[in-house]
Amino acid sequence: MYKIDKSSNRISQLEVKRFSDLGFTERNHLQEWLANEPDALGEELLIIQKEFNGFDDTRERLDLLALDKDGNLVVIENKLDDTGRDVVWQALKYASYCSNLTKSQILDIYQAYLHRHSDGASAQEMICEFLELPDIEEVVLNSGSRQRIIFVAAQFRKEVTSTALWLISNGIQLQCFKVTPFQMDDQLFLNVEQIIPTPEAKELMIGISAKQAEEKNTEVELKNRHKLRRAFWEMALEAFRDSDCELYENISPSKDHWLSAGSGLSACPFNLIFSKKEARVEFSMQRSEAVKNKYIYDALYQKKAEIEQVFGARLEWLRLDNKKASRIQFAKEFDGYNKDHWPVIINWMIQKMPELEKALRPYFNEINQGLKKLN
């Protein structure tokens, strides 16, 4: 790895280091880095426990336990400068233990993690938000034999890579990431590179996983919920077309629990949310760069008093510092899956969404100008 010096138009080689030479340890450093930045492993993962030892009749302890975006459990095993010989067998045991964890047990495991390492937020709410599902009843966790294994190490022995490739060929979802520390003067850098499977093979596996997830979503219960949501949005959009709100004029009904309309700020839609227990109107800041989402949020939050005065009620301001996105929302409890209540819910949305738009829109031009300066 090289550092580029633009002023001299030269590159300088970074020095490859060993973790042990730098004084880094597996538990206090590598594990903590991944627990706090799991995206380094190339996908969105939700860490639900560290040093997990909740297995019956054994004192063994896995390094990190996570969920992926399909609700599968992911066992993450970290080694420093060398994997050792037994890491594959160790991880397979952990995956087999985890295969028996129920949805309620996973929620308890994550809740204990939040109480110990975070602010004690609701495990149910965090998982629903991560999986982008409206309520915990729709969440499927640890389905079948879809547990995954991720190995992280600076060096992989041949017996480990050979076994890993054989397991992948036999349907085990497994990845190996090589982590390499570099140093230049007083600066330290970390490179994280997936070596098994290769990126090309990973794309094929992702395609297969997406197909399996799609097939899973054709289960009867989810089919019925999709039909119900589409029917609700068809009724709602028809009512919106007869109202003074023009946001949803060119929007089509969806099977999802949300319906989005552009606001004039890129990747910041006005959303209608319909779920079993509540309806919600919201302004969502979901650009690819977290710093821009937080900039938009902070600019609006400075006008909180004026915005809420125009809206006519207190809004829920969710900066979500540990997330990329931010939201401003207003919700009301409804029995959403009772069709007799739909006209009331829709009338509420027709009233509240224009009020939210009216309260926020006056600040968009100034925010757009400020965003240009961030580029």
Residues 179, 226, single domain; the answer is no
Residue 335, domain extent: 220-374
Residues 79, 156, single domain; the answer is yes
Residues 187, 275, single domain; the answer is no
End of a domain among 189, 216, 243? 216
Rg (CA), the chain: 24
**CA gap 51, 77 in Å, rounded:** 10
Residues 206, 149, single domain; the answer is yes
In this prediction the pTM is: 0.62
Residues 184, 248, single domain; the answer is no
User: Is 54:24 a contact under the CB 8 Å cutoff?
Assistant: no
Residues 265, 317, single domain; the answer is yes
Using left for φ > 0, alpha for ψ between -120 and 50, and beta otherwise, residue 108 falls in alpha
**CA gap 36, 201 in Å, rounded:** 27
End of a domain among 194, 216, 238? 216
Phi, psi of 94 (to 5 degrees): -60, -40
Residues 286, 180, single domain; the answer is no
Residues 38, 78, single domain; the answer is yes
**CA gap 366, 196 in Å, rounded:** 47
End of a domain among 155, 185, 216? 216
**CA gap 302, 366 in Å, rounded:** 13
Q: How many CB atoms are located within 10 Å of the residue 137 CB?
A: 12
DSSP character string of 289-309: -HHHHHHHHHHHHTTHHHHHH
Work out how many domains the chain is built from and give that number: 2
Residues 35, 125, single domain; the answer is yes
Residues 52, 198, single domain; the answer is yes
Residues 209, 235, single domain; the answer is no
Residues 87, 224, single domain; the answer is no
Per-residue pLDDT 10s for the chain (375 aa) are 888 989 999 998 899 999 988 999 998 999 999 999 999 999 999 999 998 887 766 677 899 999 999 999 999 999 887 877 788 998 999 999 999 999 999 999 999 999 988 877 899 999 999 999 988 988 999 988 889 999 999 999 888 989 998 998 888 999 999 999 999 888 899 999 999 987 655 554 445 555 554 555 445 666 788 899 999 999 999 999 999 999 999 999 999 999 999 999 999 999 999 999 999 999 999 999 999 999 999 999 999 999 999 999 999 999 999 899 999 999 999 999 999 999 999 999 999 999 999 999 999 999 999 998 887
End-to-end CA distance of the chain: 27
Q: How many CB atoms are located within 10 Å of the residue 201 CB?
A: 13
Q: Hey, what are 205's tokens?
A: 């596996």
CATH code of the domain in which 325 resides: 3.30.1460
CATH code of the domain in which 56 resides: 3.40.1350.10
Half-sphere exposure of 140 (CA within 13 A, CB side): 10
Separation of CA 69 from chain center? 7
**CA gap 272, 52 in Å, rounded:** 39
